[in-house]
Amino acid sequence: MTIMSILFQRKGIVSAWVFFLGLVALAGWPMTGATGVLLLFVAVVPPVILLMLSREPALTIAEVLHHAEMSPTD
């Protein structure tokens, strides 16, 4: 596997997102409770959306047609 393919996998994207936002949280900037909640929201929501949208690839036309040929006829 090349570095480029590793970085663009879901796990790589989510890991990088959490890592960089963790660095922002640990940077020592003054943070109120509302800012902390907002940072947590920004850290969690995009990876969850990414993982929900990219669960399983859609079937190709060939897979759909092959499945249709395999079904029993009445």
- Could you tell me if 54 and 13 are in contact, meaning their C-beta atoms sit under 8 angstroms apart? no
Q: Please give the pLDDT value at position 19.
A: 86
Give residue-wise pLDDT tens across range 2-46: 555 555 677 777 788 888 888 887 887 788 888 888 888 888 888
Structure tokens belonging to residue 43: 């850290």
Confidence of residue 74 (pLDDT cuts 50, 70, 90): very low
* Cβ proximity of 17 and 43 under 8 Å: yes
At 70 the pLDDT is 63
- At a CB cut-off of 8 Å and minimum separation 6, what does 43 contact? 17, 18, 21, 22, 25
Structure token pair of residue 50: 């990414």
Q: What one-letter code names the amino acid at 72?
A: P
pLDDT band at 48 (very low <50, low <70, confident <90, very high): confident
